[in-house]
Amino acid sequence: MRNKTLYLECFSGISGDMTVAALIDLGVDHSYLLNALDSLNLKGYEVKISRVNKSGIDACDFNVILDKAHENHDHDMEYLHGAGQHGHHHDHEHEHGHEHPHEHRNLESIQAIINSSGLSRQAKVTALKIFQVIAEAEAKAHNKPLNEVHFHEVGAIDSIVDIAALAVCLDALKIKNVIVSELYEGQGTVRCQHGVLPIPVPAVANIISAYELPMHIMNIHGEFVTPTGAAIAAALRTDRQLPEHFRILKTGIGAGKREYERASILRAMLIEDLDRKPDNDTPETASSTGFEITLNTEKRPAAFKPKEKSIDFPKREVDLEPIWKIETNLDDCSGEAIAFTFNQLFEAGAQDVYTTPIYMKKNRPATMLTVLCRESLIAKMEDIIFTHTTTIGLRKYPVERTILPREIRAIETPWGKAHVKYTTWKGHIYAYPENDDVAAIAEKNHLSFPEVYAIIKAIAYDLSGGYASAMAERKAIDCKKALPEGEKK
C-alpha cells in the first residue's frame, strides 16, 4: 500500500475537540477510545460523542462535559466558540465520578498522569509532545520556568482528555505522516482568566512563531485557533505541502461549538500520495525495508577476489522508536567524574551519552549531561548519575527517533577483512567503514587514514566497476615495497 498521510484542513481554525472529532469520524472505534480514556484515572467529567449539523454539513462532535467542581472557564472551547448549544443526538455517553475539586496542574503533574495511564507507548509520546509544546509557549508568555507555570488551560481535565483522545485516535489509525494547512484565525479580543487578550492569544502566537506555522487572519471576530489546536498542528506536522497528485481515501468532519459565517468544522482527510512508490513495489536492491548489495568481481585483479558475491540483509521496516532523554546540568563536577559516569552509563545499556557546554546562572561555565535510554532503564540511569556526579536533580522526557535498518558486515580488502556498516533510505544505499578497522590498517601499512577509508568505502559500494579494487591492490603492493624487510608478508 502507498504511504497513508493525514491532511488537516483548518479553514475554520483548529482546537483539541474538533481534531479528536474529525479523527473519530475517520473510523476510530468509540469503545476503544473510551476505554483508553478510562485509564487516565481522572474524575469529574463525562464524554459525549454525537452527530451534529454544522451549516448543513453532517459532522462528528466530541464533547468533554465537566461537573460544576471541575469547570474551567479558560478551556479552549469555552472562549473559542462560547457556550452556545446546538441540536444533536448522542451516540455515546461516558461518565466519570465527581468527587475531586478543580485544580490547575503543572507540566510535571500532567506528565505523571499520562505516564501512569494505560495508553500505548506511541500514544503517550504523542500526548506528551503536544503538552510540551503548549507548556513552552505558556512559559514564554508568562516568563516563568516550565514547572513554575500552572496552566489553566493545559491543566484542565477537559484539555487533558482532548489531547489524550487525540493521541489514542492517531495511534489507532496508524498515522505517521501529517500535513497541516494554513491556520485560519479570527481577530479582535478574547476574555479569559488573565483578562482581555488580543487574538491570537500569546500562547498561540508563540507556537506559531516557534514552529513557523502559516496563518491567515480572517475578517471575522473571534478566536478560531486555540493553544491546544496550535500545539497539535506544531507537534504532528511532518510535511508542509500536499503532494502534487493524491487520492482521498477517507474524510472525517469534526464540529466546533458555535455557529459562524463559515462552517465551524475541521476536515481531516486520509490521502494517498500517487507520486511516491508503494512500499511493496520498492525493489529489493534499494528499499527502505531491506536490500541486497551485489559486489561486482568481473574486473577485479586476480590477486584480489572476495569470496562473497553479495550481502543479503533481513527485511526490516524503518523503526520509529520512542526513547527517553535524561538531562542534568553540572557546574561543580570534575571532568574525571563525568568521564567515569560516561562509561558506567554505556555499560548499563544507554543508547547514547553526550555532553554539551553551557552557561548557567552567574555566567558559570557548565556541562549538560544527556543520556538516551529505553524506558525500562530510566531508574538504573538515574541511580548512576546521582551516585557518580554532583547533581541533585534530573529532567526526563520521551522523545522519538527514526532508526534506519543497518547491518555490519566484514568485507575483503587487499589488507584483509574490514567491517563496514550498511544502511539504506528511500532507495539509496550508504556504506560506512568501521573506524577501528580503518585505523588499524592505516597504522600497520603506513598509509593515511583518509585513503584507506576511501578505498574500503569504494570497495563496499563497488560503484567503480573494479577500478577501486585495482587501485587498492596497487596501493597494497606499493606499501609492501616500502615496508621494512621484517614486516613484509
Angle among Cα 34, 35, 40 to the nearest 5 degrees reads 90
| Cβ atoms < 10 Å from Cβ of 85 | 8
Residue that has been written with the C-alpha cell 513495489 in this structure: 281
What pLDDT was estimated at residue 91?
53
Between 162-166, 212-216, 299-303, 430-434, the lowest mean confidence (pLDDT) is in 299-303
pLDDT digits (tens, 9 = 90+) for 198-210: 989 999 999 999 9
What CATH architecture does domain 319-403 belong to? Answer: 2-Layer Sandwich (3.30)
- Confidence band for 107, pLDDT divided at 50, 70 and 90: confident
Among 12-26, 89-103, 123-137, 439-453, name the most confident range. Answer: 12-26
- Confidence band for 143, pLDDT divided at 50, 70 and 90: confident
CA distance 372 to 352: 5
- Confidence band for 75, pLDDT divided at 50, 70 and 90: very low
DSSP state of 262: S
Contact 256, 63 (CB under 8 A): no
Angle among Cα 252, 253, 257 to the nearest 5 degrees reads 150
What pLDDT was estimated at residue 90?
44
CATH 3.30.70.1380 residue ranges of the chain are 319-403
Q: How far is CA 84 from the centre of its chain?
A: 37
Between 65-79, 154-168, 260-274, the lowest mean confidence (pLDDT) is in 65-79
Comparison of pLDDT for 96 and 177, the residue scoring more: 177
CA distance 17 to 24: 10
- Confidence band for 51, pLDDT divided at 50, 70 and 90: very high
DSSP state of 99: -
**Beta-carbon contacts of residue 211 (< 8 Å; ≥ 6 apart):** 133, 233, 234, 237
- Confidence band for 413, pLDDT divided at 50, 70 and 90: confident
Mean local confidence (pLDDT), 390-396 = 94
Mean local confidence (pLDDT), 110-130 = 91
What pLDDT was estimated at residue 86?
40
**End-to-end CA, the chain:** 56
User: What pairing do the DSSP bridges indicate for beta strands 215-221 and 183-187?
Assistant: parallel
- Confidence band for 276, pLDDT divided at 50, 70 and 90: low
Paired residues of 11 in beta bridges: 13
CA distance 8 to 5: 10
Angstrom CA distances, 467 to 132, 276, 391, 472, stand at 53, 35, 56, 8
Q: How far is CA 453 from the centre of its chain?
A: 34
* Mean pLDDT, the chain, whole residue set: 79
Is 101's pLDDT higher than 80? no
Is the alpha carbon torsion for 115, 116, 122, 123 positive or negative? negative
Angstrom CA distances, 270 to 3, 9, 52, 176, stand at 10, 11, 21, 11
Angstrom CA distances, 394 to 234, 383, 398, 464, stand at 26, 11, 14, 51
pLDDT digits (tens, 9 = 90+) for 456-489: 888 887 633 333 444 455 455 455 545 555 555 5
Is 97's pLDDT higher than 60? no
Helix residue spans in 50-120 (DSSP H): 76-80, 107-115
DSSP string for 299-332: TS-TT---S-SEEE------EEEEEEEEEEEESS
Residue that has been written with the C-alpha cell 475578517 in this structure: 219
Residue 477 parent element (H or E): helix 467-482
